[in-house]
Amino acid sequence: MNYFVIFLGAMLVNNIVLVQFLGICPFLGVSSRISTAIGMGLAVMFVMTIATIAAYLIQVFLLVPLSLEFLQTVAFILVIASLVQLVDIVMKKVSPPLHRALGVFLPLITTNCAILGVALLIMNREYNLAESIVFAIASALGFALALFIFAGLREQLELYDVPKAMQGAPIALVTAGLLALAFMGFAGLA
Query: pLDDT (tens digit, 9 = 90+) per residue, 113-162?
Result: 889 999 999 999 999 999 999 999 999 999 999 999 998 888 888 888 88
- Please state the domain count of the chain: 1
Judging by beta carbons within 10 Å of its beta carbon (0-12, 13-18, 19+), is residue 20 exposed, middle or buried?
A: middle
pLDDT digits (tens, 9 = 90+) for 61-96: 999 999 999 999 999 999 888 888 887 888 788 888
Asked, for residue 185, whether it belongs to a domain, the answer is: no
Q: 29 or 190: whose pLDDT is higher?
A: 29
* Residue 8 domain flag: no
Which candidate, 91, 89, 76, 83, places its Cα nearest to that of 50? 83
For residue 67, report the phi and psi dihedrals to the nearest 5 degrees.
55, 45
Contacts of 173 (CB under 8 A, 6+ apart): 28
In a domain, 13, yes or no: no
pTM of the model: 0.85
Instruction: Give a yes or no: residue 142 inside a domain.
Output: yes
**Which structural domain, as residue segments, surrounds residue 145?**
29-179
Of 11-15, 24-28, 60-64, 123-127, the range with the lowest mean pLDDT is: 24-28
Residue 155: per-residue pLDDT: 87
Q: Model confidence over 34-44: pLDDT tens digits?
A: 877 887 888 78
